[in-house]
Amino acid sequence: MTRVRLLVAYDGSGFHGFALNDGVATIAGALTEAIGNVLGHPVVLTAAGRTDTGVHAWGQVVSLDVPDEQREDPLDLDALRRSVNALCGPAVVVRSAEWAAPDFDARFSARWRCYRYTVLNDPVPDPFLAGTTWHVERPLDLRLMRLACDPFVGEHDFSSFCRRPKRPQGDPPATLARRVMSARWDDVGDVPARLLRFEIVANAFCHQMVRSIVGTLVEVGLGRRSAGSILDTLRALDRSTAGQLAPPDGLCLWEVGYS
């Protein structure tokens, strides 16, 4: 088999997440069907991140294998990209397609993932941004939100900010330790309303981790909790101590890094 690497972007609004799920529309389902139809045989996809329902992506990475015999009649990856985009676009598009090393794995070869979360901080909603932002009416104190980011950097147990996965009876609990390399807020500016963007880079993320962090930091920005309380929340290892879960609309898998 020969390995192919795809760079994929999608609007997750109409999908029940990335992973295959019988009976509902998913990103993996749409891509698997489209690629299988173009190649004329079934394919199995591996993704860098299994985004949740309603979450978007600009830099999702997917790997798959095609039979070696394709080399006798070389597979045109650009033609594959165009054909898949004709079937899945504009909601799901392949930005690029290239050959990969035999040992490349979109998930396990990844060194880090970068997520972005965008908040529309304005009294008036924007219909053109509603699908990709979280609308927060009350003014947010960006200075406090930036200060509250510091405790997240480093390697920590994020039990307070993650949904604990279900494990078979008798199995040890899954570790929720993750290494965060950077976390920051930026003021994107008035376009036309005030947009705030949170960007976080980590070796991996657990379920609902970014949305839990954003929801908690927004509470700091609203004055509902102090920036200094974040470290105590992190150390509590208790999901009930963190803030609200931010809606999926504003979250986007932005980039995945490889060695």
Q: Which of 11, 22, 52, 157 is catalytic?
A: 52
Per-position b or e across 227-256, b if 16+ CB within 10 A of its CB: bebbeebbeeeebebbbeebbbbbbbbbbb
Does residue 122 have an active-site annotation?
no
- Asked if residues 76 and 9 have their Cβ atoms less than 8 Å apart, the reply is no
What's the number of CA atoms in the CB half-sphere (13 Å) around residue 86?
Answer: 8
* SS3 sequence of 206-257: CCCHHHHHHHHHHHHHCCCCCCCHHHHHHHHCCHHHCCCCCCHHHEEEEEEE
Query: What residue type is 5 in one-letter code?
Result: R
Active site residues: 52
